[in-house]
Amino acid sequence: MALEDRKFLKFLWIGGDANEDYRVLQMTVLAFGCQNSPFILSVVIQLHVTKFEAEKSESVSMLNFGLYVHDLYFGAEIMREAIELLSDAVTLLERGDFNLRNLSFHNSELKAFWFENRFTESEKESVELNVLGLNLNPERNILSLEVKGLADSLKTLDNSKRYVLETAV
């Protein structure tokens, strides 16, 4: 486990003697039985793609920093570079039996490349993506915020300091 990640997996160690104080220890490896999480997936993918650092350093960097669970966020200055990064991402992930299959695009040329090169079987209708809690429509390039849940919670509003603090958190 990376040194900077150890602070998130701590446990209390109490010795056999009742008079002994407890100690806070940090895990150095991922504990057996921990629930699956985006962190574990991220570590597995990073371990896999770092094998290709020497031959595809830019693509490995893009996957390490642009891939979160099942979302890949990346960009490029020119189309040729974007196509190369996308092709490399698919190839590197396939070598580890990962299947990068659903992407949304802001660029029609990159989208056409994706479908022409057998990366997915059918072109889907425009899909809204959730980006940092906002809805993104890539076809129309519009960000929106869903407020139905907030409006529903206001109907049952309990006018107290406690409720305001719970809602704020």
Same-domain status, 89 and 15:
no
Amino acid 71: pLDDT: 75
Token look-up 């057998």 returns 118
Domain count, the chain: 3
Residue with tokens 């209390």: 12
Residues 91 and 9 in one domain: no
Q: pLDDT tens for residues 6-42?
A: 887 888 888 777 777 888 888 887 666 666 667 777 7
* Mean pLDDT in order along the chain per 10 residues (169 residues): 79 77 82 66 85 90 82 84 88 84 76 74 56 73 77 70 66
Same domain, 134 and 57: no
Q: Which amino acid is at 165?
A: L
Concatenate the DSSP letters of all residues of 77-122 into one string: SSHHHHHHHHHHHHHHHHHTT--------S-HHHHHHHHHTTSSSS
Determine whether 169 is exposed, middle or buried from the number of CB atoms within 10 Å of its CB (0-12, 13-18, 19+): exposed
For residue 120, give its domain range.
35-127
pLDDT of residue 157: 66
